[in-house]
Structures are given as structure tokens and as C-alpha cells.
Amino acid sequence: MIKFQNVTKIYPPSTTVLQEISFEVKDGEFISIVGKSGAGKTTLIRMILGLETPTSGEVFFRGQNISSLEGDYLQDVRKKIGGIHQDYRLLLNKTVFENVAYILEVEGLDDIEINSQVPKVLEAVGLSDKLNNFPEQLSGGEQQRLAVARAIINHPDVIIADEPTGNLDPYNSYEVISLLEKINKVGKTVILATHDKEIVNKLGKRVITLEEGRIIRDESKGRFLI
């Protein structure tokens, strides 16, 4: 479903972030990408969304070369991917409810549908009593959970989660990860970038370890070893 083929990313003038990265993510897989801070996890994930272009090599989503997509074709791919970003990327001018609703509005759902679905998802991430707050009126952890709610609201085929537990206490981390596991159980693909050792080890799923821009390990029942 997602395929990296000899991907190298060099930020001008000469910061090499990724080198000759190749791997494939199958439909329905749960895959963790681990590595030290600065290893290139976020860069790699942003490439799947077409937010960074490889300096060389290709990234494919369902056989389409992402960097060759433009305009609405690229937007269609982005719609099919639920992204949880390290910096949350919330709409600061919209309330909690509106942030989640926006995704469904982009898809053109009607208000009845939106009004029934959004509260359910916000309930699932424990934000039911903050519907009318603006992101700036939320704690870091709450913002992160809002980002999670937004990523899963439209049941995308793939969830890409960049440090979705970075700001959460152990209880909420556990909640978010089990939410991702649940989504994976119904057949969705999950890509998780994290440096939380405990989470990765507990998952017992495929792990790709990045170091200095290269894949140094790719194991199907991997552990966090650095």
C-alpha cells in the first residue's frame, strides 16, 4: 500500500536526513518507526503526505508516485490518510468540534451526519466536555487527543501517527495506543513514529529502526533496541 524506494532526502545545502530508504507497508499492517530524535522519522512521514519531496527515489501510495501528484489528486490522497502530526496542526480559529467536523465537511457530508459522528469520536478520546473550546484553551495532552480524533473521524484506510503520545501521561498514552490497535484490528493500516520504548515493546508488531538516516533494522515482531 505504501512503498519507499531508494528514498534519499537532503536538505540544502548538505543535511542528509534519509539515505536510500526502501521498505513496503502492506494493507492492514501496524508498523512502528523508531529512532533517536533527529533520526528522520517526521521527515519520512511527511513524505507519505506529499509535504516533503524526496531528493531522489520514490514514495508510492497505492501504486501512485506521490511526488508526481498535483492539485486535487494529491488532496485526494491526503483525504484517505489520517494524519496525527507531532505539532498537532490544529485549526486554531476553530473549536474542538469544528476541527473534527472540518474533515467531514471537506468530504461533503451533511450536517446531520456530522452532528452525530463528531461527538462520538470526541467521546472516544475523552474530549466530550470541551466541544466549544479553542485549541489554545486545551492542555498539550488534550490537543494531542484532538489531533487523534481528527485523524480517525473519517475512517481512513491509513493512520499515520507521529509521536501521538509525546505529550500524554501513561494512562492517556495507553488509551491512544489501544485506540490505534482497535483501528488496526478492523483492517486499517497504522504507521506509528515514536521514541517511546515501552509502547513499541508492548505492541509486539513490526518495527523499523532508523539511525542516521538509514534503516538499520526491520523486524516483523520487533523491539525497541538502540
Partner 1 sequence: MINLKRAFSFALTDFYRNKGISVSAIFVLTLTSLLVTGLFLTHGVSSYLIDTIQNKIDITAYFKESTSEQDILSVKDEILANAPNTKSIDYVSKEDALSDFLQRHKESEVFSKALIEVGGNPFLPSLNIVTGGNTTQYEKIAEILEGQQFEDIIEKVDFSEKKATIDTIFSITRSVNIVGLLLGLVFVFIAISIVFNTIKLIINTAKEEINTMKIVGASNWFIKAPFVIEGGIFGLIASLVCLLLTVIAVLALTRFISVILPGFSLVSYFFSNLFLILLIQIAVGVGVGVVSSIIVVNRHLKV
Ligand X SMILES: Nc1ncnc2c1ncn2[C@@H]1O[C@H](COP(=O)(O)OP(=O)(O)OP(=O)(O)O)[C@@H](O)[C@H]1O
Interface residues for partner 1 in 165-224 (CB under 8 A)?
none
Interface residues for ligand X in 67-86 (CB under 6 A)?
86
**Which of the stretches 35-43, 63-71, 94-102, 104-112 binds ligand X when contact is defined by CB under 6 A?**
35-43
Contact residue for ligand X among 2, 17, 77, 160 (CB under 6 A): 17
3-state secondary structure of 61: strand
Interface residues for partner 1 in 72-91 (CB under 8 A)?
72, 75-81, 83, 85, 89-91
Cell reading at 42: 517526521
**Residue 11 near ligand X by CB under 6 A:** yes
Contacts of 201 (CB under 8 A, 6+ apart): 223, 224
d(C-alpha 80, C-alpha 82), whole Å: 7
Q: Which residue minimizes CB distance to ligand X?
A: 42
The DSSP call for residue 45 is: H
Cα–Cα distances (Å) from 28 to 35, 163, 182, in that order, read 23, 20, 12
Residues facing 219 on adjacent strands: 207
**Residue 41 near ligand X by CB under 6 A:** yes
d(C-alpha 43, C-alpha 33), whole Å: 12
Which among Mg ion, partner 1, ligand X, none contacts residue 32 (Cβ within 5 to 8 A by kind)? none
Taking the complex as a whole, how short is the minimal distance between the CB of residue 95 and partner 1, in angstroms? Answer: 10
Cell reading at 49: 503526505
d(C-alpha 19, C-alpha 10), whole Å: 8
> Do 18 and 7 touch, CB atoms closer than 8 A?
yes
3-state secondary structure of 115: helix
User: Residue 127, exposed/middle/buried by CB under 10 A (0-12, 13-18, 19+)?
Assistant: buried
**Residue 42 near ligand X by CB under 6 A:** yes
Taking the complex as a whole, how short is the minimal distance between the CB of residue 218 and partner 1, in angstroms? Answer: 27
Residue among 106 and 226 whose Cβ is closer to Mg ion: 226
Taking the complex as a whole, how short is the minimal distance between the CB of residue 159 and Mg ion, in angstroms? Answer: 16
Which residues of this chain interact with Mg ion, rule CB under 5 A? 41-42, 86
**Residue 209 near ligand X by CB under 6 A:** no
Residue among 117 and 209 whose Cβ is closer to ligand X: 209
- Please report, as ranges, the residues that interact with ligand X according to CB under 6 A: 11, 15, 17, 35, 37-43, 86, 195
Residues that bind partner 1 (CB under 8 A): 49, 51, 71-72, 75-81, 83, 85, 89-93, 102-103, 105-106, 108, 110, 150
